[in-house]
Chains A and B, each alone.
Chain A
């Protein structure tokens, strides 16, 4: 009975990869517990929790902004006066044309300004605003999805039939189309956004810690996987990977002596790979 249930569970690619992700991270944590010094392990744990927290916030904010903007655009598109629709579309297209990393970098410069003015001191508030900035540049994917789903149903009989039954259009769009019939699509998009958020956050924190270290550094930004990887000792650990190509015997030392950098790099790459596979598996399971 348990074996059958387990078999069914593992047939679904998304569930299988979710368990691989959790098991992999757990195995790495146990390994670090044995071989890594306590302060470094504490830093990795804090960085991982902060990164996940920020990623989850990005997902939540992208959903809220994307849903609101997508539904708002739909109603503005149908309104008699189309100027607000044109203006909003124009602004969204401008955001779309700004490479994410550039937009996020500008956002971080603003956050730094507030940190320097001592207007933003709480670590969780800083993470919140960092996530807000990232979500500004990824939420458009949710907007496009919401618009596509509404268009898809509007073209079928489903939508006009409900209108004829006297159901409010806002209810049809928000409840019937998006909540009841597009939840799987939205979850899939949010999984992909979670992956993008982790990648963007790690990259921007790495860049900032490496390049803007005099003004902005891990001392005034909460530690994340990206900023931890940018620390000198982590970078030395990653550099040590290069010596593997000439001398395979270094491999053992890499797993015991260069653990901080290697662990952070593994967590980032492994998480991105697993999130991608979970997203693909989710598409397959729900036939999206």
Chain B
């Protein structure tokens, strides 16, 4: 365990050093570019001349031609360079900072720290919700599979066929209900797979999409996060259910019925609280073993979740959030701030990885001792 933590700390140190090097390099490059820009025009700009005043400019041109009559083209080039430099002051995005100072000042660092804290809170909430949500979805799908349930649409088509061949089938009301359920499932799938910005723009005219609550909900349901991790957990459940110990447990009379609300079966609460339910049901053991295998996937989950949150903040231009701030600072090339934010985000992922590693290690030790 110590080795794993040391590895994490080493990678934090490595990334911090790499960022420091990049920052140093960019600073030198910026300084060189600034020097190159001002070396020609600098001495003239230091003179008490208003280059916005045509009369001053005309006098300056005459003075230049008096001092350097041998090369009037070079004099024109100097004037052109001065004009370009002045224009740059008005047009270059790097200078249009909205009154903000360049560099990472104390005020800016405090503002960023507040955004960072907010980001961590949202991240933690979405993490917990998606962890629980993915497990619940996977458990529901697994139980449905064990109940040999078919899709609503397939049941609808089959029943329609039965009715046509007069073999029976469901009554019309049930058929309509099946169709409605299939439709709702389709809508749910659409939302679960839709990128956050598609959902947000669809709802923008109806609700306040800049609110923290909306961001959390969007973080949980969109970008395919919930459905993909539910699928991963389901794969572990399905693989675990095929193991030999499950059959042995069933032979030894451990509960194995997956029907809802029958003696020895499952209750709906199992979907939300699978860990605490039914010690005498084989499903609990399948779940516990699947969960143990799923834990390391939380590291990958963390990285994907942060991607999702940043996509939401950037794509929706939610001001006052870390993702938006990152984008703005990239735009205005304030590299100190960009690298500070990137390092902070990297630290969140690393902190999650360390926590997951400690958790997995403790779980493994508990099973080994048992």
Contact = CB atoms under 8 A, between A and B. Distances in A.
B353 A101 contact: no
B11 A100 contact: no
Contact of A101 (B190, B299, B310): B310
B25 interface: no
A98 B342 CA distance: 9
Interface size class of B (residues with CB under 8 A): 35 or more
B115 interface: no
A224 B363 CA distance: 45
A206 B307 CA distance: 14
Contacts of A96: 299-300, 303
Contact of B303 (A99, A207, A235, A241): A99
A203 B93 CA distance: 24
B88 interface: no
Query: For B205, B206, B307, B310, which residue has the most chain A Cβ atoms within 10 angstroms?
Result: B307
Contacts of B342: 102, 106
Contacts, number: 122
Contacts of B330: 105, 109, 212
A265 B193 CA distance: 11
B298 to A, nearest CB: 13
B15 interface: yes
B48 interface: no
B93 A215 contact: yes
B231 A98 contact: no
A94 interface: yes
Contacts of A265: 194, 198
A111 to B, nearest CB: 13
Given A109-B330, A199-B224, A207-B327, A97 B353 contact: yes
Query: For B198, B227, B306, which residue has the most chain A Cβ atoms within 10 angstroms?
Result: B198
A280 B231 contact: yes
Q: Is the interface of A mostly helix, strand, loop or mixed?
A: helix
A272 interface: yes
Interface string A74-93: 00000000000000001001
Q: Is the interface of B mostly helix, strand, loop or mixed?
A: helix
Contacts of B245: none
B350 interface: yes
A88 to B, nearest CB: 13
A229 B198 contact: yes
Contacts of A210: 314-315, 317
A211 interface: yes
B346 A98 contact: yes
Contact of A100 (B224, B231, B235, B307): B307
A210 B315 CA distance: 7
A99 B307 contact: yes
Query: For B93, B224, B306, which residue has the most chain A Cβ atoms within 10 angstroms?
Result: B224
Contacts of A93: 7, 11
Contacts of B134: none
Interface string B141-162: 0000000000000000000000
A60 interface: no
B197 A272 contact: no
B198 A238 contact: yes
A266 to B, nearest CB: 9
A203 B315 contact: yes
A98 B307 CA distance: 9
A102 B317 contact: no
A216 B345 CA distance: 24
Contacts of A273: 189-190, 193
B114 interface: no
A103 to B, nearest CB: 9
B204 interface: yes
B304 to A, nearest CB: 7
Given A93-B11, A99-B349, A101-B307, A269 B198 contact: yes
A202 interface: yes
Contacts of A245: 206
B331 A212 contact: yes
A241 B327 CA distance: 27
A260 to B, nearest CB: 13
Contacts of A207: 311, 314-315, 327
Given A207-B311, A211-B317, A242-B204, A272 B353 contact: no
A243 interface: yes
A213 to B, nearest CB: 9
Query: For A202, A206, A207, A215, which residue has the most chain B Cβ atoms within 10 angstroms?
Result: A207
A115 interface: no
Contacts of A239: 201-202, 204-205
A92 to B, nearest CB: 11
B234 to A, nearest CB: 9
Contact of B223 (A90, A199, A241): A199
A273 B186 CA distance: 10
A268 interface: yes
B201 A98 contact: no
B217 interface: no
A194 to B, nearest CB: 13
A97 to B, nearest CB: 5
Contact of A272 (B193, B204, B235): B193
Interface in A203-243: 203, 206-207, 210-212, 214-215, 229, 235, 238-239, 241-243
Given A102-B310, A242-B204, A273-B189, 16 more contacts: A94-B14, A97-B349, A97-B350, A98-B346, A99-B304, A99-B306, A99-B307, A100-B303, A199-B223, A199-B224, A210-B315, A212-B330, A214-B93, A242-B205, A269-B198, A272-B193
13 contacts: A98-B303, A99-B303, A99-B306, A99-B349, A195-B224, A202-B195, A203-B223, A206-B195, A207-B314, A210-B315, A238-B202, A265-B198, A268-B195
